[in-house]
Amino acid sequence: MRIEKIEGPDKKGLCWPNCTWFKCVKNVLREKENDLWCDWLEQSCVGPSCAYASCVRNQLLPENRCGLAVKRITKDIVQPTDFKINVKLKGRAAGSIDMDDLV
């Protein structure tokens, strides 16, 4: 019986050995009785908490998290309204451009 390979993390965003991108660096994983068996430890695969676990796409993060499931949150510290431009125009340009048009 084949173990079904599934792309990506589980529902909680954690890496798991059934993922198509999960890789054992020692190449000792095999299927045994509907389970992934580690010949190195001679027990069921412990997944990404193993020292030899890796991700083919280099997305394995600390705490067994899948980098493909993590959304990056960024915040702009500097807003565009924080900048003020002091421009003094002379001549024809001063008459044709409003100061409100300069941002």
Beta bridge pairs of residue 55? 22
The model carries a pTM of 0.56
Q: Is the dihedral of CA 29, 56, 48, 66 positive or negative?
A: negative
Amino acid at 77: I
Reported as type and span, the H/E element at residue 65 is strand 65-66
Contact 60, 48 (CB under 8 A): yes
- Structure confidence at residue 99 (pLDDT): 61
Convert the pLDDT of each residue in 25-61 to its tens digit: 888 888 888 888 888 888 888 888 888 888 888 888 8
Residue 62: pLDDT band with limits 50, 70, 90: confident
Give the closest residue to 69 by CA, choosing from 1, 6, 15.
15
Between CA 71 and CA 68 the distance in angstroms is 8
Give the closest residue to 64 by CA, choosing from 97, 17, 1, 5.
17
